[in-house]
Structure 1
Amino acid sequence: MTRSGAVRPTRAADLPWVVCDGAGMAIEPVSEFLRELLACGNGTSSCRSYAYDLLRWFRFLAAVDVPWNRVQRAEVRDFVLWLRTSVNPARERSRPGASAPGAINARTGKSSLSAGYAPATINHALSVVAAFYAFHVRTGRGPIVSPVPAQSRRGGRVYSHHNPMEPFASHKRGSYRQKQPELPPRAVPDDVLDDLFSRLGCNRDRAMFSMYLSSGARASELLGMSVGDAHPGEGRIYVATKGLGGIKQACPAAPEAFTWLALYLGELTGEGHRPEPDEPLWWTRRNPLRPLTYTAVRAVLRRINESIGANVTLHDLRHTLGLRLIADPQVTLVDVQQVLRHRQITTTGLYLRPRVDEVIARVHEHYTRPRPEPRPLAGWTYDEQDLSDVFGEH
């Protein structure tokens, strides 16, 4: 399929991203939908994510030569079939020598990403297209009926009024929605973590990765911190929580993370750059100094993974913290929910599931445990009191 069009940033406060067609012109129906998203309280990152999903959809429509407001259910079906059989362009950017798609890493036990689109990606794309057409059905600018089949009302993971003590009822998936495997949280083995931290080459990276592991902050949340968001005396940092429109919440951080942070800020001051409390906390190491980006941090982690033969991601550090807290008998499930800032306690409950490697180790121990020798029978004996109770006194 021809990769026509693009997602471009703008300087407009009411529309930070636009989707352009092959001629470089903004697609107005998409722009109206993105404005609606922002008006409903969604953040700019969500706006960007939806823009890329709609770009993929409009590229498909351009390939099949169907106007967006003349789409039928058959086009949605063909779009899903195309996603199921196509190669994800993001996988094509892998470096030579990288692990084969779907291969299991020997050190972490985690599989590499598959070459195609994941079921969650397909379902998200369907949800975005469905929301796009639902908006234009309401405004009267699109088709009379949305071409995307409705999703099962209770088929998702959100059960707002579900009693956690009762089992979940099974419900039929919506049409074209893919089966998603319920993967357990991924913890990084201790020996891999030791190798990872030994490869960090500067105090900035040591401070940053220590905070990732001890705070449970997401990648973008930690990178969005300002200098004033770090409070060493209180042992906490403040991050803009995902989905709350920039509202900052407190997270714990380990003492060693603040130690590395003090060393890093001291180096910045020694180089003549002393950021103000409202300026970004994380900066590049080379001149001209710029705020650190997610792409740069991923590059640091990718080089370390290549040197130690692992496939650790930043989000794995968040899972590792969650599993460590769950294993501590002094920390409750509600405490873990607060640290990870999950909206639903059922999401935190996924960390209660036993890890696969722990289960395998216990089963192997069961196989190798010596069996107790059976005790030989010494013959039958009777209690005299029992005999007297049954037969009476003689």
Structure 2
Amino acid sequence: MRTGKPAGYNPSTINLTLAATRGFYEYHAHFGVGPVVNPVPESHRKATANRHRSPDDPQVIVRRSRLRQKAFKKSPRSIPDRQWDELFNAMGCDRDRALLACYVSSGARATELLGLRESCVDWAGQRIRILSKGGEMRTVPLSPEAMLLLARYAAQRGLIGPDEIVWRARRGTDRPLTYAAMRRVLQRAGARLGTNWTLHDLRHTAAVRMAEDPALTLTDVQTILGHRDIRTTTQYTNPRELHQTGENSQATWSQGETEGARSLYELAS
């Protein structure tokens, strides 16, 4: 794979699955139903060290238990510029090209952008309102290129009601585009290009580009991405991972995007 993403499951994914499995058995053991023996072993040192710990005290770090994987904190996976161009050109219709441009322009999460409604598109202001985590509405900017592609797709799609989802399925009955269908679009493109980019990688790419733009502060980027804690945003200040491509990043936001983001931050503050 040209993206450098290893095959198989990530260590953090394995640890999360182990924790969920252990919690499942602990729940049933607490109520006296189900198997008595928990198949996921626990670190007795950790249980003993933290048994009488006050919630205000730091957690004692001990050796991990059996089956647990050693996980390393990695920088977010963003798409280098050349591979982004290849991925964009691999899209087979105006809808998919508009979606990719909106993802990288706005930094919206996959389901946030797929849930965009017609009434939430501000054509004059070049921005959209999306339903964020926690049920809050968030306004994010779009680049002039993304707005142009969105308008081209809307003209091809035809008129829809103000409460209808913008992105529609191309085959079968008229219905909103689902997450699984859009993920399949990227998978088919990745099979042709030898890559395995995901929808969330598009959000990482947008965040890295924003963080690299000298016209935007870290607080601006936090506001656009919808992070509650700025420490989540600081992970994008590290140099972009090149994923063994040897490419240098030259991606910055356009002047229109930067001015739009600054105005959105001023309105939010």
Q: Which has the higher contact order (CA 8 A, sep 6+)?
A: 2
- Residue 213 in 1 paired to residue 104 in 2? yes
Alpha-carbon deviation of 1:357?
A: 4.1
- Secondary structure of 2:124's counterpart equals helix
The CA distance in 1 between the partners of 2:84 and 2:155, in whole Å, is: 26
Larger Rg: 1
Give 2:14's aligned residue: 122
- Residue 204 in 1 paired to residue 95 in 2? yes
- Which amino acid in structure 2 is aligned with residue 171 of structure 1? I
Please give the residue correspondences for 1:336-351 in structure 2 after superposition, counting only pairs within 5 Å: 336-351=221-236
Gaps of 5+ in 2: 51-55, 248-269
- Secondary structure of 1:234's counterpart equals coil
Please give the residue correspondences for 1:263-278 in structure 2 after superposition, counting only pairs within 5 Å: 263-269=152-158, 274-278=159-163
Give 2:258's aligned residue: none
Give 1:367's aligned residue: none
- Which amino acid in structure 1 is aligned with residue 211 of structure 2? I
Alpha-carbon deviation of 1:141?
A: 5.1
Give 1:41's aligned residue: none
**Superposed CA RMSD:** 3.5
Alpha-carbon deviation of 1:283?
A: 0.7
Number of equivalent positions: 234
Give 2:194's aligned residue: 309
Change (3 A) 1:119 1:358: closer
Equivalent of residue 353 in structure 1, options 213, 238, 245: 238
Change (3 A) 1:291 1:172: same
Change (3 A) 1:286 1:311: same
- Which amino acid in structure 2 is aligned with residue 202 of structure 1? C
The 8 Å contact of residues 203 and 260 in structure 1, kept in 2 or not, is answered as yes
Give 1:234's aligned residue: 125
Percent sequence identity is 41
The CA distance in 1 between the partners of 2:171 and 2:241, in whole Å, is: 42
- CA deviation digits over 1:107-151, x for unaligned, max 9? x4x22432xx4322222223334544565577x4558x9956489
- Residue 255 in 1 paired to residue 144 in 2? yes
Alpha-carbon deviation of 1:173?
A: 5.7
Change (3 A) 1:173 1:260: farther
Change (3 A) 1:127 1:236: farther
- CA deviation digits over 1:305-324, x for unaligned, max 9? 23333332222211111111
Equivalent of residue 210 in structure 2, options 325, 343, 348: 325
Alpha-carbon deviation of 1:214?
A: 0.8
Give 1:23's aligned residue: none
The CA distance in 2 between the partners of 1:335 and 1:136, in whole Å, is: 46
- CA deviation digits over 1:49-89, x for unaligned, max 9? xxxxxxxxxxxxxxxxxxxxxxxxxxxxxxxxxxxxxxxxx
**TM-score normalized by structure 1?**
0.51
- Which amino acid in structure 1 is aligned with residue 191 of structure 2? E
The CA distance in 2 between the partners of 1:298 and 1:353, in whole Å, is: 27
The CA distance in 2 between the partners of 1:186 and 1:231, in whole Å, is: 30
The CA distance in 2 between the partners of 1:301 and 1:193, in whole Å, is: 12
